[in-house]
Amino acid sequence: MANKKEEKYLEISKQIVDNIGGIENIQGVAHCATRLRIVLANNELANIKAIEEIELAKGVFIAGNQLQIIFGAGTVNDVYRVFSKYVNMEDMSLTEVKEQGAKKQNIIQTIIKSLSDVFVEIIPAILAAALLLGITGLLGGLDVVKNNQTLYAINRLASISASGIFSILPMAVCYSACKRYGGKPILGMVVGAIMLDSSLANAYLVGNGSLSPEIIKIFGFPIELVGFQGGIIVALMMGFVVAKLDVFFDKKVPDIIKLLVSPLLTVSISTILLFVIVGPIGRSLAFGITNALLWITQNLGVVGYMIFAGVQQVIVITGLHHVIAAIEAQLIADTGTNFLNLLMSVALVAQGGAVLGYLVLNWKNLKARELCFSSFAPTLFGISEPAIFAVNLKNKFPLIAGCLAAAIAGAYVYFTKLTSLGFGATAIPGFAICDPANNGYINYIIAHMIAILGGIIFTVILGKIIGKKNN
């Protein structure tokens, strides 16, 4: 049995190589949880349609300058083991493959990828805290918890632990950004701590007019000593600045005094830049982005919600969706809630609904049935790439149908005033961070059912129309 499997995976490996321009066109290979990732010297040599027909392949696409073949959890490990041995690239890590792919990216792609890397580093903590925050919020409203001393104490402690990451989020972002851009992470943490120093006027109190900050002057230039609570975009910028200063001084300062002088200069100059240049610019940028999004929801109303939900998964295809995490974090810092998370969640499951619609149209096709089931399941847990790249984008009309369904679900989100208390969790996991206000939990379920059913209905309708046109 084992030998038969080995032979099958070897045959799959040979077919892949034959359809990607040969071994000489391969620059790197690795795998993630579900996909075999291959960096090619020339992507145009890849025969996507032929690779899609290879046994066990559930979808093929090129993203992040990597050819990615979906084999599914577990299977991909076995395929990778044989394939990497066949092409003599057994020891490459996923990070190395990403770096190879990054060398082929343009400046915009590089910026987007780097921002994504910063938040990938800290999202597990944010996600865990957001889920716990949602759970403690739900339990806190129950009489059995309120009236039981022990249950109340446990829930209270859990609530405190959940809110911890959000109180130091700028420091965490600065740490992660500094690490991503090549600096010593501890220096990013130090500057992040300076952003939240207790001797500075609290940004929220200054913002609501209840506190006036101390003003100092350098050569007559006034500087407001205001903290950066909620300053996610400033933290991103400062992480980059700290990293570049750290690298610069490590190269320029003599070794004999480097250990003391290099970090001293990095932190000192970073602090001055924080209050004089980066902080004011970052605050203005964050203010502008947040207000633009709020303007859309306040002035375009339901249309604004429908537009965002309708196009969000198209943005996923481009990779630009990673940047939204910074905006979500800023929204939570500024308003306490996050309406974007709900719009992204319904947009995501709507693509899952479109997959089910395509399944209805192609029920008699066994390979399509297998592909649709395996592509739909991940959308329930907040992963839409298999649905988009394996089914919807390839066939075009399901993608359009999913976008239409998402727009309708977005309208429901608007009318029911649905919001989230965090970000990073969508679909079923996102239920835990849903704001319970305005019957939030019930409306969360309804909104997602609208998205899924809408995706099915629109896909079937468009599929039949297209089918009639082709006859």
Q: Does 2 score more than 80 pLDDT? A: no
Last residue of a domain, one of 260, 285, 310: 285
**Residues 356 and 429 reside in one and the same domain:** yes
Q: Tell me whether residue 293 is in a domain.
A: no
Give the phi and the psi of residue 70 in degrees, each rounded to 5. Answer: -85, 115
32 carries an active-site annotation? yes
Pair (256, 318) in one structural domain: no
Report yes or no: 164 and 189 within 8 Å, Cβ to Cβ: no
Count of domains observed in the chain: 3
Rounded distance, CA 336 to CA 329, Å? 10
204 shares a domain with 345: no
77 and 92 housed in the same domain: yes
Structural domain contains residue 294: no
pTM (predicted TM-score): 0.58
Domain stop point among 84, 105, 126: 105
For residues 429 and 319, membership in a common domain is answered with yes
The C-alpha torsion from 52 through 56 and 58 to 61, rounded to 10°, is: -50
- Classified as helix, coil or strand, 222 is strand
Domain check: are 257 and 357 in the same one? Answer: no
E strand or H helix at 123, and its extent?
Answer: helix 107-140
Among 48, 44, 55, smallest CA distance to 13 is for 55
Q: Apex CA 130: angle with CA 126 and CA 136, to 5°?
A: 145
pLDDT digits (tens, 9 = 90+) for 374-407: 788 888 877 776 788 778 877 889 999 999 999 9
Is the model's pLDDT at 470 over the cut of 50? no
Do 192 and 236 lie in one domain? The reply is yes
Pairing of strands 26-31, 35-40: antiparallel
Residue 24 tokens read as 């000489």
CATH of the domain at 82: 3.30.1360.60
Can you give the pLDDT at residue 190?
A: 95
Q: What is the DSSP letter of 209?
A: T
- Within a domain: 258: yes
Distance, in Å, from the CA atom of 170 to the CA atom of 409, rounded to the nearest integer, reads 33
pLDDT at res. 403: 94
Of 231, 254, 285, the domain-final residue: 285
Is 295 within a domain? Answer: no
The answer as to whether 45 is a domain residue is yes
Q: Which of 76-90, 98-112, 343-357, 434-448 has the lowest mean pLDDT?
A: 98-112
Q: Give the Cα-Cα-Cα angle 370, 375, 380 (nearest 5 degrees).
A: 130
Cα–Cα distance measured from residue 234 to residue 230, given in angstroms and rounded to the nearest whole number: 9
Q: How far apart are CA 455 and CA 406, in angstroms?
A: 8
Q: What is the pLDDT of residue 123?
A: 64
Query: What gap in Å lies between CA 447 and CA 453, rounded to an integer?
Result: 10
Query: Could you tell me if residue 456 is inside a domain?
Result: yes
Q: How far apart are CA 336 and CA 315, in angstroms?
A: 25
Question: 213 lies in which domain range?
Answer: 111-285
Report, as an integer, the average pLDDT of 129-157.
81
Confirm whether 307 is domain-assigned: yes
Considering only residues 15 and 165, tell me which one the structure prediction assigns the higher pLDDT. Answer: 15
Which residues, in sequence order, are CB contacts of 349 under 8 Å at separation 6+? 379, 380, 426, 427, 448, 451, 452, 455
State what percent of residues in the chain have pLDDT above 90.
28
Q: Is residue 195 part of a domain?
A: yes
The two three-digit tokens of residue 419, written as one number: 């919001």
Of the chain, the percentage scoring pLDDT greater than 70 comes to 84
- Residue for token pair 């990013």: 188
Q: Are residues 243 and 309 in the same domain?
A: no
133 and 234 part of one domain: yes
| Residue of 32, 174, 178, 372 marked catalytic | 32
From residue 225, give the alpha-carbon distance in Å to each of 206, 217, 295, 463: 10, 10, 29, 60
**Tens-place pLDDT, residues 67-99:** 888 887 778 888 888 998 888 876 655 555 555
pLDDT given at position 103: 55
Same domain for 257 and 138: yes
